[in-house]
Amino acid sequence: MAHISKRMKKGRESIDRSKRYPLEEAMGLAVAAPPVKFDETVELAVRLSVDPRQADQNVRGTCQLPHGTGRSVRVLVFAKGDKVREAEEAGADYVGGDDLATKISSEGWLEFDKAIATPDMMSVVGKLGKVLGPRGLMPNPKVGTVTMDVSKAVQELKAGKVEYRVDKAGIVHVPIGKRSFGAEKLVDNANMVIASLVRAKPSAAKGNYLKAIAVSTTMGPGVPIDPLSVKATAAA
């Protein structure tokens, strides 16, 4: 049997596992759990009534969090010509072309969190698929990271644009900020994510789309959320 720390045990005692809490109350319980020595990330987990094995039910998208993620995002841009300067002025941490691709492929260099590419660089970037793909770092036009508007893409990622994708179990996990944000800002971010998920609902999805929702801090217990308490906001 896995050992449960005193802090986790105390946190669980404040949560009624048989209950589904309104979003605001659940967030309050999550951030009120016994503290740790670092500023924990708060994550939203949403189970959807989709079958990810079916191509027409593979939910994927992006969402701009109104209060950001609370973490510094290192952005790499594959570009050439005028787009190099545009990326640098927008605040990209690394900008280049073949030089960066070689550094990644030959040295295993991956000191960045997000990658953007202009369409004319995809012949170079495409060769890095086996390295970047499994790590979720491959630029993709569907989520706005293959674009000629590199300035906008960089600024959005720096400001807290998050990407989500349903996993094999039909669950979407999205970081919505830091515990230090407080419940009110985290509720704003959570509502934005849920609204985005509702907009991304596949037409093939059947039944109750938002099957279950929970929020948790890095080291804290999950707090169940009543899907009905967020649907009105998400649909607005």
pLDDT in tens, 174-225: 999 999 999 999 999 999 999 999 999 999 888 889 999 999 999 988 999 9
Residue ranges, comma separated, of all CATH 3.30.190.20 domains in the chain are 6-69+161-235
What's the pLDDT tens digit per position in 56-102? Answer: 998 989 999 999 999 899 999 999 999 999 999 999 999 999 999 99
Backbone angles phi, psi at 10, to 5 degrees: -65, -40
Euclidean distance between CA atoms 62 and 70, whole angstroms? 17
Euclidean distance between CA atoms 201 and 210, whole angstroms? 10
Which amino acid, 234?
A
Name the token pair of 236. 């607005």
Average pLDDT over residues 22-27: 94
State the residue for tokens 């596992």. Answer: 17
Superfamily in which the 6-69+161-235 domain is placed by CATH: Ribosomal protein L1/L10, rRNA-binding domain (3.30.190.20)
Chain-centre distance of CA 155, in angstroms?
Answer: 16
State the residue for tokens 């999805």. Answer: 205
- Position 105 scores a pLDDT of 94
Name the token pair of 217. 């801090």
- pTM of the predicted model over 0.75: yes
Rounded alpha-carbon distances, angstroms, from residue 33 to 7, 29, 40, 146: 8, 6, 11, 40
C-alpha angle 79-160-38 in degrees, rounded to nearest 5: 120
- Position 235 scores a pLDDT of 43
- Position 10 scores a pLDDT of 52
Class of domain 75-158: alpha beta
